[in-house]
Amino acid sequence: MQREMRLDLGSLRALYKSGGATPADVIASVYDRMAHDMAQPVWISVVPREKAISRARKLEKDPLAAALPLYGVPFAIKDNIDFAGLPTTAGCPAYTFTPAHSAPVVQALIDAGAIPIGKTNMDQFATGLVGTRSPHGACSSVYDPRYISGGSSSGSAVAVASGVASFSLGTDTAGSGRV
Catalytic residue among 134, 140, 153, 176: 176
Contact residues for 64 (Cβ-Cβ < 8 A; gap 6+): none
Q: Return the amino acid letter for 129.
A: L
Q: Is 81 left (phi over 0), alpha (psi -120 to 50) or beta?
A: beta
Torsion of CA 35, 148, 47, 38, to 10 degrees: 20
CB 170 within 8 A of CB 177: yes
Residue 176 among the catalytic residues = yes
Distance CA(158)–CA(100), nearest Å, equals 27
Among this protein's residues, is 168 annotated catalytic? Answer: no
Q: Catalytic residue among 78, 102, 119, 149, which?
A: 78
Active-site residue, selected from the candidate residues 102, 149, 152, 156: 152
Active-site residue, 29 included:
no
Residue at 36: amino acid letter:
H
Q: What is the distance between the alpha carbons of residues 155 and 153, in angstroms, rounded to a whole number? A: 6
Active-site amino acid positions: 78, 152, 176
